[in-house]
A and B are shown apart, each in its own frame.
Chain A
């Protein structure tokens, strides 16, 4: 599986992560699923209601509002992103334990040591596999 997104989507996630640091930033990516992979077309920054440097969670009210807004554009939620302000771009044990939606790609934006590193993962039955991310250059 591959997640394809315009550079602007990556930039938006990175900027959001830097603005919120040291709090964990979080959000959804909405897009479409194609035989070539998942195409992420919109990034929706969300409020981390934990307001924590170590945890994040969404409010259901905001989740439904954003999901319906994306649906109105013909998009579905394809990925959830969150930042690791001081740890690597890998899923933590807590990330894996709380990854209940098998269809959701998990994108991690690490800001560890002031370097940006982005990786994406699938979690199915607690088994983690890395997902390739590509920048869509045209169109």
Chain B
């Protein structure tokens, strides 16, 4: 299936990929520190394991940005 991740087209042999697995595939070491949009809508962090990606989906993720002093 074909998925667009952060604006870039990607192809995957598997069709049973969860959002959590997709983050791992994209080398996200701290999934709890990223915010995800699936087809333009925010996804709650506790849903990453239960949402399966479908062909044609658009997934965007961004890391939390913060710091100080």
Q: Is the CB of A67 within 8 A of B68?
A: no
Q: Is the CB of A71 within 8 A of B65?
A: no
Interface: B21 (CB within 8 A): no
Query: Quick one: which of A55, A64, A67, A77 contacts B67, CB cutoff 8 A?
Result: A55
- The stretch of A2-10, A14-22, A95-103, A128-136 that contacts the partner chain: A95-103
Query: Quick one: which of B29, B34, B37, B67 contacts A95, CB cutoff 8 A?
Result: B67
Q: Is the CB of B68 within 8 A of A64?
A: no
Interface size bracket, A side: 20 to 34
In the bound assembly, the distance between CA atoms of A68 and B37 in angstroms comes to 12
Contacting residues, chain A, for B68 (C-beta < 8 A): 24, 50, 52, 54-56, 82, 92, 94-95
Number of A-B residue pairs, CB cutoff 8 Å, is 72
Of B30, B35, B42, B68, the most chain A CB neighbours within 10 A belong to B68
Which residues of A are in contact with B by a Cβ distance under 8 Å?
24, 26, 50, 52, 54-58, 60, 63-64, 67-68, 71, 77, 80, 82, 84, 87, 91-92, 94-95, 98-102, 104, 106
Which residues of B are in contact with A by a Cβ distance under 8 Å?
6-7, 29-30, 33-35, 37, 42, 60, 62-69
Can you name 11 A-B residue pairings with CB atoms under 8 Å? A26-B65, A50-B68, A55-B67, A55-B69, A60-B42, A64-B60, A68-B60, A71-B7, A94-B68, A104-B63, A106-B67
